[in-house]
Amino acid sequence: MSTESIAWRAPQAAARPLVDKLHEWVTTVDHKRLGILYITYALFFLIIGGIEATVLRIQLIRPHNHFVPPQVFNRMFTMHGTTMIFFVAMPVLFGFANYLVPLMIGARDMAFPRLNAFSFWMTAFGGLLLYFSLLGANGLYGAGNAPDVGWFAYAPLTSLAFSPGHSTDYWTLSLLVSGFGSIGTAINIIATILCMRCPGMTLEKMPLLAWLNLVMAGLVILAVSPLTAAQIMLLIDRYLGGHFFDTQAGGSAVMWMHFFWVFGHPEVYVLVIPAFAFASEIIPVFSRKAIFGYPVMVAATICIGFIGMSVWAHHMFTVGMSSSANTFFVLSTMAIAVPTGIKIFNWLATMWGGQIDFKTPMLFCVAFLFQFLIAGLTGIMLGSAPFDWQLGNSYFVVAHFHYVIVGGILFTLFGAFYYWFPKMSGRMYNEKLGRLHFWLFIIGFHLTFDFMHIPGILGMPRRIYTYEPGRGWDVWNLIVTIGVVFQAAGVLVFIGNLLWSYFRGELAGSDPWDAWTLEWSTSSPPPAYNFGSIPTVRSRRPLWDLKHPDDPDWKYE
Amino acid sequence: MSNRPKGIVMRALKSMLAVLWFPAASAFAEPEHPFLSPTNIFAPASTPAYSIFDLSLFVLEVTAAIFLVVFSLLAYVVVKFRKKAVSDGREPAQVYGSTQLELAWTVIPILIVVTLFLAAARVIASIQNAARPSNAIEVTVIGHQFWWEYRYPSLKVVTANELHVPVSDPAHPTPTFLTLLSADTDHSFWVPRLAGKTDLIPNHPNSMWIDPHETGLYLGQCAQYCGTQHAKMLLRVYVDSRDDFDRWIQEQRQPAHLSDVASQGRHIFEITACINCHAVAGTVANGRFGPDLTHLMSRQTIASGVAKNTIGNLIAWIYKPDVFKPGCEMPSMGLSVQQSAAVAAYLVTLR
Amino acid sequence: MTVPHPILVGPARGPVAMFSLIAAESAIFTIFVVAYIFYIGKSQTGPQPKDVLEAPIFYTLCLLSSSLTIHLAVKGLRKGRSRDFGIWWCATIVLGATFLFGTLSEWNRLIYRDGLTISTNLFGTTYYSLVGLHGFHVIVGLILLTAVMAFALSGNIRQQHAERLDVLSLYWHFVDTVWVVVFTVVYVIGR
């Protein structure tokens, strides 16, 4: 281990005009700055998407509510879904990958820094394009503004006949453009991890976060590309009079469903595997133990990647596939429970016998374990095709995937924010505010998404702007909406905490968690070149070896 | 439904018990008194829904057992291995893995998965590959933005929004087989107490079947987003006794009962664009974009279950359809209130 | 601040990135090929493939042989024979351009003689999309090849650049391989 902390002083901010600083950020190719740009951008859209969700929930607070007209409601759920998946979850995870991967593998930057900047700006442009629809989509023949076809935009609702005007075009183009950005980032992550590791860091000595991001990037390449192809087809249909999804001319609506979900399901793993990565870094540090079963964790992730490519049609159990196709997709879907289960047990085994310190990042990770368990179990219910014929497209599904994306991914993301905030900013967050955020958010989460399962069981379909009284759905919808208040409060505390700590937090030092991976060996925030001299590692926990020269990891691995 | 606070609390408690996957869940499977909701998937009343219900109970039991085991482990770990207030500053023993343990939590889940898969495969086959008996009723369901068209090809009946099927005695089943088509976008036919949902997709005919065991009214609604008024594309399935069903078919097969009582309304109806979309058998009205109105008054609701079929609602609906369904495909024809009332007066003669 | 980052372990980043890009592109082409195969024979109106398509054997041979010439060009450069490199690289560009000309003349014939456009029927939609997507990749490849040619003429391509040109030739081989698939699907199976 030859690492030295480098005293790095942030250049005096006041000394330079704002324009210079902005120019630096816009033209940066530094992976850390691009990571922070990704994250900030995603946080901005998180708030927008959250506001959209709030509009949806206020409308559904009671039957026959008139808060917004149906057209607006339909736009809101389309924008909410599209924004949260493509302009919050993907960018924020790419941001963390960008920031952390080079630091954790002992590299000075990503393999292709300029491609990295290009990818970010493509993603950013995609998000702006989506929201520009609010202004620009009123074509000559006014037919609405924001897209209103749902985030999976089933054909033929997206055809010119049913979606005139330009709103659907903006939706398509924004996903196409940000898709190029995602593929660029994925290529970059793969090249970085395979080619830029520091001496001694063989594949089996990489931190799990690097491994999981490698699998994630592979999935992005195989999953986002089909979406790109499908969007090109949709554009051909809409602009050149093609017939891919034109059912009047023999085209197939089911084809779009297949193409979308060939992207759409692996996309879930694109999002959840980085979340697993955060948990796999945070849980060991706060349990003070090495990750349990590293090789099995890697193998399980690769398994999830492969099986994840073959389960897409479980989103389509109700479209009338043959019984043999349905049966196959039940099997593949259930099979994915096995590697996922292994991961949960391995995290539990990591905590077993440890000295668990319930700092905010760990609180979020424990909540993640609990919620991801439930999300997995409701996933088994939905994976059982006949059960899905009842539950599919109902609020039960909505509850299930929010359990995955909020209860699983967002919770670990919050954990990751608190865990790496000292590294990124050089300052500690406020622990009390962190806990307040945690408790507000977990209460709100469970109020909203636990009770959201029930109207689904009672027959409430998703994407309805209002519902009839007397269906027994009223109370549940009221509770669900109340939960939103707590979640919103939690997010406000979170953002307040970040801002306050950025300016006023205690100085963190290079290694506030007494952690073991390479990013904690350099200063906080790290210098532009990351490491004074490129480190050499002998085990998966180089800093453990450094701190315990008498009992280093490389003796056992 | 009671709105008293006590009622709400009781309902909440009961449903929590149900949702917490109590074995007692089967207690509310009585078809006569659907628990909590007329669209409760756990109140089956037809063979496909029963098969799914049985499977779902099994799945719920298995998942509940898994939940209990893993949750107990998690709770134990969280309580037992907290950092001690007083620590000697030494790191705990480092354990890097255990092949036996990891093998165990690979093999046991595989066994569970295989069991769940076999159970699901059996039900898929029993529902999707069910034989179609010769006495089955055939209905073609056509989804439109935003209403349902029902055609009984062998019985020569066309109606809209309210499906009538005969009750099926489990000893001598007379199931109804639905062929599902769409005239425009994707829809989904979902009456939770009768069967799971199946999508109606243009250029992709689907089928499903139901065999309701009890007479009565079963509710549902479109379960695939199909456009602006997706929320108000409600389903009503009337399960009649065999006699009532045969009588209903006889009535539906008659041409319209025309009288001179409302000739002014009929005139307005036939000189405006109404007839481009609506059909009234035996008159010049033969449009097919909208619901067939030949026996409009045999239906209890209008606008796909959104409003009661009363003359007041008919007038309002004709005068300004956006009152019930903003963004629906039926345009306001620019008729005055008086003209709308005259048309409604004509429509109420269509029994 | 950019600091040169030494590549310390693992393979060179260029080929890794190109193989990743090729994986992504393959996925895109797969979707278009699946759509093409699914829609074979589903067109509701004419013209049908068997009436209007003729297998472009000559142009196919041109494109396939350009894989060989680019290989010879890079091999020449690696051995420091810049004259060999220039000749073979030019040949690659000429062969690629000939192929592109073949596609364009075929389209010209289909549009003006046979009246088949992208909006005529499902065959038109899938045919122009798939062949056009491939043609787009040929165009991108030709632009890159020409850019390298321009560098070479200005004397800026030297022996040490062989590795980078290897990456580009990977892309070109991919474009050729895809054509084998497209040819099989469109002119063999689809007819």
Cα–Cα nearest to C83, from C98, C95, C72, C68:
C72
Percent pLDDT > 70 in chain C is: 95
Strand (E) or helix (H) holding B235: strand B234-240
Taken as a whole, chain C contains a residue count of 191
C-chain CB neighbours of A113 within 8 Å are 2
The average pLDDT across B33-59 equals 92
A-chain CB neighbours of C26 within 8 Å are 225
At C87 the pLDDT is 94
Residues of B numbered 291-350 whose beta carbons fall under 8 angstroms of chain A's beta carbons: which are they?
Answer: 326-327
Subunits in contact with chain C (3 or more CB pairs closer than 8 Å) = A
- Residue ranges per structural domain of chain A: 26-555
Residues of A numbered 140-199 whose beta carbons fall under 8 angstroms of chain C's beta carbons: which are they?
Answer: 183, 186-188, 190-192, 194-199
Reported pTM: 0.92
Cα atoms in the Cβ-side hemisphere of radius 13 Å centred on C111: 11
pLDDT in tens, B165-211: 999 998 889 999 999 999 999 999 999 999 999 999 999 999 999 99
Q: Is pLDDT of B154 > 70?
A: yes
Subunits in contact with chain A (3 or more CB pairs closer than 8 Å) = B, C
Q: What are phi and psi of B171, to 5 degrees?
A: -75, -35
Q: Which amino acid is residue C30, in one-letter code? A: T
Residue appearing with tokens 């639905």:
B178
Structure tokens given for A541: 């926990």
The average pLDDT across A421-447 equals 96
The Cα of C47 is separated from the nearest Cα of chain A by a number of Å equal to 14
The average pLDDT across B54-65 equals 96
At A518 the pLDDT is 95
Confidence band for A551, pLDDT divided at 50, 70 and 90? confident
Question: Strands B234-240 and B216-221, how do they pair?
Answer: antiparallel
* Mean pLDDT, rounded, of chain A: 93
Residue A137 neighbours by CB under 8 Å, 6+ apart = A144, A145, A146, A147, A165, A166, A167, A169, A170
Instruction: Report the distance separating Cα A163 and Cα A156, nearest Å.
Output: 9
Cα–Cα nearest to A502, from A422, A440, A404:
A422
The Cα of A53 is separated from the nearest Cα of chain C by a number of Å equal to 33
Q: Which amino acid is residue A212, in one-letter code? A: L
At C46 the pLDDT is 82
Percent pLDDT > 70 in chain B is: 91
Window from A257-261, A295-299, B89-93, C68-72 with minimum mean pLDDT: B89-93
Q: Is pLDDT of C8 > 60?
A: no
Q: Is pLDDT of B222 > 90?
A: yes
Cα–Cα nearest to A93, from A34, A33, A42:
A42
Nearest CB partner across the interface for A221, out of C23, C42, C126: C23
From start to end of B49-196, where are the E strands?
Answer: 137-144, 147-152, 157-160, 162-166, 176-182, 187-189
The average pLDDT across A181-199 equals 95
Nearest CB partner across the interface for C24, out of A111, A221, A249: A221
The average pLDDT across B275-287 equals 93
Per the rule left: phi > 0, alpha: psi between -120 and 50, beta: everything else, B145 is beta
Q: Is pLDDT of A401 > 90?
A: yes
Confidence band for B74, pLDDT divided at 50, 70 and 90? very high
Instruction: Report the distance separating Cα A499 and Cα A505, nearest Å.
Output: 9
Confidence band for B18, pLDDT divided at 50, 70 and 90? very low
At B56 the pLDDT is 96
How are strands ordered across the β-sheet holding B162-166? B162-166, B234-240, B216-221
Q: Is pLDDT of A538 > 50?
A: yes
Q: DSSP code of B324?
A: T
Angle between helices A253-287 and C13-38 (to 10 degrees): 150
Class of domain B263-347: mainly beta
> What Cα–Cα distance (Å) separates residue A422 from each residue in A276, A498, B343, C9?
21, 10, 73, 30
A-chain CB neighbours of B206 within 8 Å are 319-320
Which runs of consecutive H residues, i.e. helices, occur in A28-69?
A: 31-59
C-chain CB neighbours of A202 within 8 Å are 9
At B27 the pLDDT is 35
At A1 the pLDDT is 40
Instruction: Report the distance separating Cα A527 and Cα A9, nearest Å.
Output: 9
Structure tokens given for A91: 């960018």
At A139 the pLDDT is 54
A-chain CB neighbours of C5 within 8 Å are 107-109, 196
A-chain CB neighbours of B66 within 8 Å are 377
Nearest CB partner across the interface for C44, out of A200, A240, A249: A249
The maximal CA–CA distance of chain C, rounded, in angstroms, is 62
Q: Is pLDDT of C11 > 90?
A: no
Residue appearing with tokens 């924001």:
A146
The average pLDDT across B12-38 equals 50
Confidence band for C158, pLDDT divided at 50, 70 and 90? confident
* Partner-chain contact C16 A232, CB within 8 Å: no
Q: Is pLDDT of A484 > 50?
A: yes
A224 vs C: CB within 8 A: yes
Mutate which of C18, C19, C20 to disrupt the A interface (most A C-beta within 10 Å)? C20
Instruction: Report the distance separating Cα B157 and Cα A225, nearest Å.
Output: 48
Percent pLDDT > 70 in chain A is: 96
pLDDT in tens, A201-212: 999 999 999 999
Per the rule left: phi > 0, alpha: psi between -120 and 50, beta: everything else, B305 is left
Window from A8-17, C55-64, C174-183 with minimum mean pLDDT: A8-17
CA angle B8, B12, B15 (to 5 degrees): 135
The Cα of A193 is separated from the nearest Cα of chain B by a number of Å equal to 24
Task: Identify the closest residue of chain B to A540 by CA–CA distance.
Answer: B96
Residue B312 neighbours by CB under 8 Å, 6+ apart = none
At A554 the pLDDT is 86
The Cα of C84 is separated from the nearest Cα of chain A by a number of Å equal to 31
CB atoms < 10 A from the CB of A13, how many? Answer: 8
Residue C41 neighbours by CB under 8 Å, 6+ apart = none
The Cα of B263 is separated from the nearest Cα of chain A by a number of Å equal to 36
- Residue ranges per structural domain of chain C: 54-189
Confidence band for B25, pLDDT divided at 50, 70 and 90? very low
Instruction: Report the distance separating Cα C117 and Cα C46, nearest Å.
Output: 11
B-chain CB neighbours of A351 within 8 Å are 77-78, 81
* Partner-chain contact A373 B63, CB within 8 Å: no
Class of domain B137-240: mainly beta
Structure tokens given for A133: 């629809």
A-chain CB neighbours of B51 within 8 Å are 386
Instruction: Report the distance separating Cα A154 and Cα A107, nearest Å.
Output: 43
Cα–Cα nearest to A184, from C80, C122, C25, C139:
C25
Q: Is pLDDT of A431 > 60?
A: yes
Residues of A numbered 107-146 whose beta carbons fall under 8 angstroms of chain B's beta carbons: which are they?
Answer: none
Instruction: Report the distance separating Cα A47 and Cα A495, nearest Å.
Output: 10
Q: Is pLDDT of A234 > 80?
A: yes
At B86 the pLDDT is 78
At C3 the pLDDT is 42
Q: What are phi and psi of B176, to 5 degrees?
A: -115, 125
Window from A110-119, A355-364, B7-16 with minimum mean pLDDT: B7-16
Cα–Cα nearest to A214, from B96, C20, C9, C174:
C20
Task: Identify the closest residue of chain C to A198 by CA–CA distance.
Answer: C8
Task: Identify the closest residue of chain A to C126 by CA–CA distance.
Answer: A244
Is the domain spanning A26-555 CATH 1.20.210.10? The answer is yes
* Partner-chain contact A389 B52, CB within 8 Å: yes
> What Cα–Cα distance (Å) separates residue A339 from each residue in A333, A336, B110?
11, 6, 10
* Partner-chain contact A233 C7, CB within 8 Å: no
A345 vs B: CB within 8 A: yes
Cα–Cα nearest to A56, from A484, A508, A383:
A484
At A17 the pLDDT is 84
Residue B27 neighbours by CB under 8 Å, 6+ apart = none
A202 vs C: CB within 8 A: yes
Task: Identify the closest residue of chain C to A32 by CA–CA distance.
Answer: C1
Chain C residues contacting A, CB < 8 Å? 1-3, 5-13, 16-17, 20-21, 23-32, 35, 38-39, 42-44, 118-119, 121-122, 125-126, 129, 133
Window from A1-15, A217-231, A416-430 with minimum mean pLDDT: A1-15
pLDDT in tens, B285-330: 999 999 999 999 999 999 999 999 999 999 999 999 998 999 899 9
At A360 the pLDDT is 97
Instruction: Report the distance separating Cα A365 and Cα C167, nearest Å.
Output: 42
B-chain CB neighbours of A322 within 8 Å are 128
The Cα of C18 is separated from the nearest Cα of chain A by a number of Å equal to 8
Q: Which CATH architecture has domain C54-189?
A: Up-down Bundle (1.20)
Q: Is pLDDT of A5 > 70?
A: no
Q: Which amino acid is residue B98, in one-letter code? A: S
CA angle A31, A498, A493 (to 5 degrees): 140
Handedness of CA A239, A242, A245, A250 (dihedral sign): positive
> What Cα–Cα distance (Å) separates residue A19 from each residue in A14, A22, A66, A466, B15?
12, 5, 46, 48, 59
